[in-house]
Structure 1
Amino acid sequence: MARTIYDKPTRALLKDMLADWSLKPGQVFTSSRAIEWFAKNYPKLKPGSIRAHLVQASTNDRSRLHHPATNKSDDLLFKVDSGQFRLYELGKDPAPIHEMVEGDVAREEAAAAAAEEDEGADALPGSSEFLLERDLQRYLAENLECIESGLKLYEDDDLRGIEFEAGGGRRIDILAIDKAGAFVILELKVSRGYDRVVGQLLRYMNWVRKELAEPGQRVRGIIVCRTISEDLCLACAGIKNVELCEYKLFVTVRKVPAMELPT
């Protein structure tokens, strides 16, 4: 069951915030202002969770679709710019995004990749390698026990730790919690893992420490690749709380008897 800190889920508290502000159509507010409101009224909620709920409520942000529970009741906001929002205006704004159409994933991932200075050699959006990485992500998210006993997908109200928003258009492949209560960031690479992925993982780990973790709560990272390069092993040597894993895929083929047709 998803974690709910207060009597109301965060998406309902977000509606309370908007009602409290009595915003006028077109009036813009920032994510920082929202975080300040929650810090005053619901201090147990972390900034990272609040930002994720703002994304979920933004009718024109495709990242909202990474949260399966998103529905029409979440059509509250229109994202003006990074960290800037206003009320959604029915009949004036484009129709809310409720499903991904063909090609949207590729465009979204391409935009995110452009913001990453170290993403140049990753799987290209729309490529077979990119699709395999998404298949790997879905499988591991549903079978985290195959990586580590007691590992569970992170949940915060109705938000799940798949493609979890980590600021600046970046997303954590899988965000999990281990049996000791530590955060675990899984960074997936469908092919060979190179040393530059370490910087990406460490950035995500520090973002979780800053935006989600409680004081003293441990944050770990796991890089999962088909082949771990020697350079990656060297880059991770001596780094605490970072582990490396290789995955293997197995395929079985079964012959299907031919259908007999009448003569």
Structure 2
Amino acid sequence: MAGQACKYAQQCFEQGFIGGDWGIEGDLTHDLGDNWRDFNSQYIPVFLAANPDKTKVGAGLACGMLHTICKGMAMGDLIFCPNGSGIYYVGEVTSDYYYAAGEILPHRRKVKWLAQGTSREEMSQPLKNSAGSIGTVCNITKYAQELEALLEGKKPPALTHSDESVEDPSVFALEKHLEDFLVANWQYTELGQDYDIYTEDGEIVGQQYPSDTGPIDILAISKNKQTLLVVELKRGRASDNVVGQIQRYMGYVKHELCEPNQDVKGVIIALEDDVRLQRALSVTQGIEFYKYQVSFKLIK
């Protein structure tokens, strides 16, 4: 996303670049190692100094996205940039990082844009959710097949059903798209009574939040701002291995994101558990287990 509310998208398209800002000044060329964690360690304090009203959560996300723009994207990668009117400009990254001092979005990559973009209305609902779910930069590589079909002028395959009474067959894909469904319906869940998915400047940033041991499915914060909640989703049965996984995420949150007056808790959500998971959780503090149920009804 080129600036808040896509305000720089047209300029990026016309001038052939994409970039970021976040109040971090100066050429980053010599600080762009392959490891984004090292970059974050160096620039989170810089970001917080330039944005004193932001949190450590926002700082970590901003620096991670800046590193993605400057280093994580490779030459030849395709990017999709919304213009704010339902169209995504599509372009190929054609240069390494460069710094445009005094310009908007000064941390830049050159882009060769295609003459014609693609419409958001042609995207499947899961792709719409992913493409618009997380601030400035998100990785939509898992939708590559659908995106390639869109660029060839083909619409993505639709879910089919044999019952004409079903108005929205997409609910049958709930288990496959559990994360997007949970985020969209968070306020109606038991967790939504006490926690909000983490947002910055009105945008959800707590979905697939990056950590040094992998992305956190959902990062939420209690309504009193005292507790950060790590949510790990498992599509199907959860084994005891997930306990160690969520503990690693919680450790990252505790040491890297929590403010001095905050603590961290965890929630595992799966279709079902087993005795090994129950045993592991019985001697583990701060982690709860929830089962999800898929329900579908036809009412005449």
Runs of 4+ in 1 over 6 A off after TM superposition: 96-99
TM-score, length basis structure 2: 0.54
Contact 2:235 2:270 in 1 (8 A): yes
Pair 180,238 (structure 1): closer, same or farther in 2 beyond 3 Å: farther
Q: State yes or no: 1:55 paired with 2:61.
A: no
Q: What is the percentage of aligned positions where both structures have the same residue?
A: 23
Contact 1:133 1:188 in 2 (8 A): no
TM-score, length basis structure 1: 0.61
Q: 2:24 aligns with which of 17, 20, 30?
A: 17
Pair 199,78 (structure 1): closer, same or farther in 2 beyond 3 Å: farther
Alignment-derived partner of residue 210 in structure 1:
255
RMSD of aligned residue pairs (Cα, Å): 4.1
Deviations 1:45-104 (A, max 9, x none): 455532321333433289x99xxx9x99xx9x968xxxxxx9433259xxx988836644
Q: Summarize the alignment of residues 1-263 of structure 1 with structure 2, pairs less than 5 Å apart.
A: 14-18=21-25, 21=26, 23=27, 26-29=29-32, 30-42=39-51, 45-57=54-66, 58-59=68-69, 60=73, 87-90=107-110, 100=140, 103-104=143-144, 135-144=177-186, 145-148=188-191, 149-157=193-201, 158-168=203-213, 170-181=214-225, 182-253=227-298
Deviations 1:157-207 (A, max 9, x none): 345211111125x11111112234311111000100100100110111111
| Amino acid in the other structure paired with 1:147 | E
Structure 1: 5+ residue stretches without partners: 1-12, 80-85, 107-130, 256-263
| Amino acid in the other structure paired with 1:55 | G
Contact 1:228 1:245 in 2 (8 A): no
Structure 2: 5+ residue stretches without partners: 1-19, 33-38, 98-105, 113-135, 147-172
Distance in 2 (CA, whole Å) between partners of 1:224 and 1:55 is 27
Contact 1:133 1:189 in 2 (8 A): no
Aligned length: 200
Deviations 1:93-124 (A, max 9, x none): xxx98883664499xxxxxxxxxxxxxxxxxx
